[in-house]
Amino acid sequence: MNRRKLLKLVTMATGSALVGGNLVLNGCARGGLPENLGFSEQDLALLNEIAEIIIPRTDTPGAKDAEVGKFMAATVNDCYYQDDQDTFHEGLAKINEISREHFNTNFINAKQDHRIGLLAELEIEAREYEKPEGGTEHYFTMMKQLTLMGYFTSQAGATESLRHNPVPGRYDGCHPYEEGDPAWA
C-alpha cells in the first residue's frame, strides 16, 4: 500500500493523521532529530494569513482568531522530521516568491483575491502532486492539513464552528440531524 493510501486509512481510523509526523505504522524512525529551523515573527504572520484564507472568519471565528499560525509552527518544530521541516520552510519561502513574481509584493501584502487565487492554484498543484519515493508530501498539503487540525482542535474552532460537549452523560444512537447543524467536536 502506498503512503498516501495508508494516510487516508489512518485518517479514517483515528480522525487525524499528521502528515510529516511519524505516523507511519511500521516502526521505523526516519532520520535523527533535526535542528529546528524556527519561525520568525514574519513567518508566523504569514502562516496566519495562509491559514485565514483556508479557514476564514465568518459568523464564527477564523484561523487567525484560533492562532493557527502558532499551532503550525509548534507542530512543525516539535513533530516534523528534517526533510518535512525543510519542505515546509521551503514552501513558505516559495509562496512569497510566487507572490512577488505575479503581484510584485510579498504574500502578506498582496490583494485578497490574489492571495486566494494563489492558494487555490497551489491546492490544485498539491492534489496533482505525486510524492516521490522517499520524498515528502507537497508543502501545501502540510499547510492545509495543519490549518484544519489547528483550527478544529482549538477552543475557538471546536466550540464555535463545531459543537462541543465535554460530558454528554448519555448516548443516543439515532439522534435527529437538521441540515446545517454543526458536527460534534
Report 75-134 residues binding another protein (CB under 8 A). 75, 78-81, 116, 119-120, 123-124
Cβ proximity to another protein, 43 vs 145, nearer residue:
145
Among 2, 8, 102, 135, binds another protein (CB under 8 A): 8
Binding part of the chain for another protein, among 7-15, 38-46, 88-96, 103-111 by CB under 8 A, reads 7-15
Q: Is-contact 38 138, C-beta < 8 A?
A: no
By CB under 8 A, tell whether 164 contacts another protein. Answer: yes
Per DSSP, the residues of 112-151 read: HHHHHHHHHHHHHHHHHPPPPTT----HHHHHHHHHHHHH
- Scanning residues 133 to 162, which ones bind another protein (CB under 8 A)? 144, 148-150, 152-155, 158, 161-162
Q: Is-contact 24 81, C-beta < 8 A?
A: no
- Scanning residues 44 to 63, which ones bind another protein (CB under 8 A)? 53-56, 58, 60, 62
Distances (CA, A) of 91 to 71, 85, 105, 120, 172: 17, 10, 17, 15, 45
Find the shortest distance in angstroms from Cβ 132 to another protein.
22
Q: Is 96 in a helix, a strand, or coil?
A: helix
